[in-house]
Structure 1
């Protein structure tokens, strides 16, 4: 949702109808007909408003949360570059570092700011673009020729680990890490990789399950070896229908597990 100021124009946009057709403010950049999962979680946790994007968040407003998302971005720097401007996940981490430093100045005490940040929930869902807008686009990227799916999952997790550790070093303690969903069944994958336009591209789903399995193992490892950190893994491969059916149960999983 955050706009990519200072970058060349992006083709990955959702600021026009029918996006946002069921959202109170209409199309806002959310790749959805209505609220995102984070919108629902924030609402059910008692937030007064939707979390503002980094591009527009100012002053004490940032104490209520900031959205760092950028369309087409991925763990790898080159991911999504064929679509134009985007803030890579590393760029989003750098934007968070800037916000963390601003919070120190607002609160006026480094220890108090660290305590404040340790109570925040960091919801992160990244990785799908590294497959759809990188590995499975050989006409633009060489990664599928450089790495087997297993090797590529390893490379992604290694870089993701360092990015998460940077967030931790700047105060983050409570993480919700969302796995990659069945992107082999997405409209994009069906259009480009399905033999009949209807059958899911299983090679994509198998590859992103390799990533999900390694992400789950990473969560376990970081929970064991990172002082005062608490991470939970969300199985996006099959959970989102459950979220639609019972959002309160989904929020309770996050809230209780991160306490």
Structure 2
């Protein structure tokens, strides 16, 4: 069964919009795991507009499943990762002012940099994943730099599937087949939702984990967090 890691960035966004500590991020992380989430994901950014660096430091005290920290591996981010020692670090090539993640790594162009970062993370026992587009050359590059896993950037799939284009899954399937051949684990994320997650999961061989935040939290406004997590788990079986 594919694991569900719940990204709680949007909970922090809601909290920050009012100040104070409502909703309580640590309580939401605790409850999400109690409701069935297999992990918790955060993606702190330099401006701390949602997840704050201190949140990332506080979360290990309540995480009993897996902890995934995503972000651009700048020095400040890596210092945070090595302080928190998560289960997994997902390297994402975000620009400092990016509203949200919008591209995967060029694993060929950034080979030396990624190799250095991944070597350091793995030396500390942290599983490494690289955010990549479904491009075979980038998958091959992820293997060369030593990543444990890739995270397939699924925005284009989600957009096309919403338009009724099921063939949009094809480059993701080809990428997953190659990743399996190379011994890379497969994660996925970005704009996955209750509407498209079952189709995606059924077509991607050996999909280990999905990280879902924006859609899951938005769906929970109508259906409730516990109910939505259970619905995702059912679709991922």
TM-score when normalising by structure 2: 0.37
Structure with higher Rg: it is 1
Bigger fraction of residues in strand? 2
Q: Which has the higher contact order (CA 8 A, sep 6+)?
A: 2
